[in-house]
Amino acid sequence: MAAHVEVVSTDLRRIKIKVTPGTYLVDVLGEACKKLNLKSDKYELKHKQKLVDLSCPYRTSGLSPGAKLELVQKSKSASVVSIALDVNGQRYTKKLPSDMSLWKVMRQFETGENGLNITGRGVPVGTNSGQLYHEAPVVNIMGREYSALEDLQKSLSQCGISSGSIVLRVTFKVGDRTLYDAMQEIAQFLSDADPEQSNVEEKREPAPDPAPPSAVEQPKEDATLLDEAPELDVDSPTSTEVVAPTAVAEPSTRGEPMEVDGPFAEPAAPIDPLQPTGVFNAPASSTPAAARTREDDSVYEPTIAHAQLRQHQLLQRSQNTRLKSDAELAAEAAAEAARLAKITKVEVKVRFPDQTSAVWTVTPEETGIFLYQAIRNIMAHPSQPFRLILPGPKTVIQENDRKLIAGYRLKGREMLHLLWEDSVSAAARKETFLKGSVASKAKEVVVPDIPQGSLDAGDSGAAGPSNQPAKQERGKGGNGLDSDAVKKKLSKFLGLGKK
């Protein structure tokens, strides 16, 4: 018995799709996107604020006739799917992204499991025939079979699998092509569809390792070192690096320059990490440098480009967005941890209550204890309690073993503020923060000169008539419209009214 469902797009367009009990919901999505002139791989269906399983047919979906389905945008990042591959009764499990094709999924299981052959099987046909014929894989997903090469190039999301877990049952069907002809056709098809995948297919067998150098060619000194070296595990990945001699008395035969006659260079004295790399005096003026700059009022007048940008932002906010899954959040956290692990040093500038400041270079091994100890090392009164906070949400850096870079996510150059605890007396707050030996090395903060805008018409008298056209252009919008007209249009668009 035929029925229909109603699909509502993001712009409130409605499309009725006829369905039968055997119609798969992924086909409903494809037909709706085709009628709405949209790409089906960028959308998914939602019913009563719940995502619809597109891999199942209509009769098992639980949808009633005439159900209203919302067409929502799919997340741009691929989600993780837990896949169980059933091959002739044996099951293999793996977590793979939803944008991976069915062919690549089978190849992933082949490379991960020893002795598993899915895509390159061959069987003899006939009793006395020595010719092997290709045994093609057939993937069954919720009762729907995918056997053609075009179908096996569909991604998991195109088959209706975007999240959760799924069972892929693989059976095999003997074709009328020989194994050699089938492999040639598959390689040609993959080279046209995905050049990178074709290169992988051609390089299934790894290249042989280069032969090790003969022991006869080794110098006498090297042979002595090898005889005296302890026994090593040949399976260890670092065994070859340990066996190779690194300390040979004879000079290298590659002609590398060596400083023989030069004077002996004494090793540099170790730098104390507790000492700051820079100390700066307090600003001479109480007014911030940013507040002393002047700009013409025409700089802040809105333009047509601002209105178009605002309209684009409102359009993006009106579209439904999917919340990130736990797998996506875990992937983002792992990527953030990897970025923090690559950081080798961070410059931390601490501003003190009397507006003086100091800079330290922090490595990934440094903790909050190190920073508190370094600050007490330059304080005039190190016994006074204080705390360090980060700007923004005012995160307090604790004096414990928590790493500064990995624990507080410090990157590049960071500014910290030192605040006195409530128990510090008023007299101690008024005294100089730095001790004399450190304060004598302080430098002045050099603020770069910022070009100031014209204050009034009288300030541009020296420039003459050349400044007049520029000033006239700044009073207009991005398309040459008058500023008053732009203000009226923006007021009407944003609903601000007249001021």
Angstrom distance (rounded) from CA 120 to CA 324: 38
pLDDT band of 237, cuts 50, 70, 90: very low
pLDDT of 267: 41
Q: pLDDT at position 359, please?
A: 93
Instruction: Give the length of the chain.
Output: 499
pLDDT cut 70: percent of the chain above it: 71
pLDDT at 256: 40
The string over 300-320, giving b where at least 16 C-beta atoms fall within 10 Å of a residue's C-beta and e elsewhere, is ebbbbeebeeeeeeeeeeeee
Distance of CA 473 to the CA centre of its chain: 42
Instruction: Identify the helix (H) or strand (E) that includes residue 351.
Output: strand 346-351
pLDDT greater than 80 at residue 27: yes
The whole-number pLDDT of residue 349 equals 93
Model pLDDT for residues 126-136, shown as the tens digit of each residue: 655 567 888 88
Rounded average pLDDT over 480-491: 60
The mean pLDDT value for 160-167 works out to 81
284: Cβ contacts below 8 Å, ≥ 6 apart: 444
Dist. CA 378–CA 392, nearest whole Å: 26
Query: Token pair 């999505």 is at which residue?
Result: 29
Domains in the chain and their CATH numbers? 3-73 (3.10.20.90), 80-198 (3.10.20.90), 272-283+342-444 (3.10.20.90)
* Type of residue at 91: R
Tens-place pLDDT, residues 78-103: 778 888 888 888 888 888 888 888 88
pLDDT of residue 473: 45
Structure tokens at 49: 């604020």
Tell me which of 36 and 218 has the higher pLDDT: 36
Q: Could you give the 3-state DSSP secondary structure of residue 295?
A: coil
Global confidence as pTM: 0.39
Report which of 286, 433, 285, 431 is spatially closest to residue 356, judged by C-alpha positions: 433
Tell me how far apart the 2 most distant CA atoms of the chain are, in Å.
Answer: 106
Percent of the chain with pLDDT over 90: 7
Overall average pLDDT of the 341-351 stretch:
91
Separation in Å, CA 409 to CA 367, 371, 394 = 12, 15, 14
Report d(CA 121, CA 138) in Å as an integer.
Answer: 12
Per the CB < 8 A criterion, the answer to whether 48 and 39 are in contact is no
Contact indicator for 94, 85 with CB cutoff of 8 Å: yes
Taking 50 as the threshold, does the pLDDT of residue 386 lie above it? yes
